[in-house]
Amino acid sequence: MATIIGAQIPNLPWQDKPEAFPYPVWRFDGNPIITRDNLFFANSIFNSAVVPFGGKFAGVFRVDTRTRDQILVAGFSDDGVRWTLDGKKLFEGYDPRLCEIDGAYYLTWVKLTPHGTVIGVAGTKDFVSWTEYEDACYPVARNGVLFPRRINGEYVLLIRPCDRGHTPYGDIFLLHSKDLTYWGKPRFVMAPQKNWEMTKVGAGPTPIETDRYWLMLYHGVLTSCNGFTYSMGAALLDKEEPWKVLHRADSFLLAPHELYECVGDVPNVVFPCAALADSRSGRIAVYYGAADTAVALAFTTVDDVIDYVLAHDCAGNVD
């Protein structure tokens, strides 16, 4: 039995696992929860981040506008399912992640610059006023994800260096910082290993702390003759040296299967960007972008997912 370390979220969105369902992650039956038509000026809304906020939920959402500009907007929800998005642009860029550290909420996202994308870093207390910090890197990088607390006194940031365009490769690395301004001691975390993720991998939601591991959900990409397929995988990282992958599921945990995941602006995409984890019940709600078009929700528990990873371990490491 694994334990989530962190806050209790009694109003975590939830549906019980369907009877006899054989896999560790199951979809919300009301998917997608946010469609492309949610905002007047949106072409699509997907790959978005949420956190518990004042007993309710707040989030930062990726909106591709009808000019196909990529912007972030804030959103709020009482139940984590029905969201009210704010029409005001917070930042330019995409694929936000959110985490709370020491009472402040930190946003990392793929920030657009004239020279390529970087990892932008900003903080807020109220999701209304934001402070932007120095970029965490030079171009080109994507999938910047902070750990939800300092480890050995240092902030730790997952990052996926890449190139301009639709990068045909990609590994996950990790950086350390004492001050969110200077970053160093880069460490390799993981590269594609199994076929379903053979093109590239990138960190997903803020890692979830458990008693024995950091649970990192991530996306992996497979290239077929008709393009990329994005799926969700899971790995368990060392608590103190989180660049060490102790266990890793050899198969995806969620892959494009439903029509809203297979059809849309980019067919065949399941892209997790956020997860809510309730330390009391062990329940986890995963928010993921579907087909680069909509936001969907899936569920698991800390035991479901860790048991699955341990049972399908391809990391070749002992704990």
State which of positions 26-45 bind a second copy (CB under 8 A). Answer: 36, 40-41, 43
Find, among 246, 213, 249, 243, the residue nearest to 231 by Cα: 249
CB 14 within 8 A of CB 276: no
Query: Which CB contacts under 8 angstroms, 24+ apart, belong to 192-197?
Result: 192/220, 193/248, 193/250, 193/314, 194/220, 194/250, 194/251, 194/314, 195/222, 196/220, 196/222, 196/229, 196/231, 196/233, 196/251, 196/252, 196/255, 197/221, 197/222, 197/231, 197/233, 197/252
Q: Taking Cα atoms as reference points, which of 42, 110, 153, 150 lies closest to residue 273?
A: 110
CB of 256 to a second copy, least distance (A): 7
Minimum CB distance to a second copy smaller for 278 or for 313: 313
Q: Are 317 and 46 in contact (CB under 8 A)?
A: no
How many C-beta neighbours within 10 Å does residue 140 have?
A: 18
Answer yes or no whether residue 228 interacts with a second copy by CB under 8 A: yes
Q: Based on CB atoms, which residue is closest to a second copy, 171 or 212? A: 171
Segment contacting a second copy (CB under 8 A): 67-75, 82-90, 93-101, 234-242?
67-75
Of 7-15, 25-33, 163-171, 281-289, the segment contacting a second copy by CB under 8 A is 163-171
**Residue 73 is a binding residue for a second copy (CB under 8 A):** no
21 binds a second copy (CB under 8 A): no
Q: How far apart are CA 77 and CA 82, in angstroms?
A: 6
The least distance separating a second copy from the CB of residue 231, rounded to whole angstroms, comes to 8
Residue with tokens 């965490």: 136
Report if residue 68 touches a second copy, rule: CB under 8 A. yes
Rule CB under 8 A: say whether 123 interacts with a second copy.
no
Residue count of the chain, please give it: 319
Residue 194 binds to a second copy (criterion: CB under 8 A): yes
| 222 interacts with a second copy by CB under 8 A | yes
* 3 state DSSP class of 310: helix
Size of the site for a second copy (CB under 8 A): 71
Residues 246-305 that bind a second copy (CB under 8 A): 250-252, 255-257, 259, 262-268, 292
Q: Which listed range, 46-54, 80-88, 112-120, 274-282, lies at the site for a second copy (CB under 8 A)?
A: 112-120
**Residue 217 near a second copy by CB under 8 A:** no
226 binds a second copy (CB under 8 A): yes
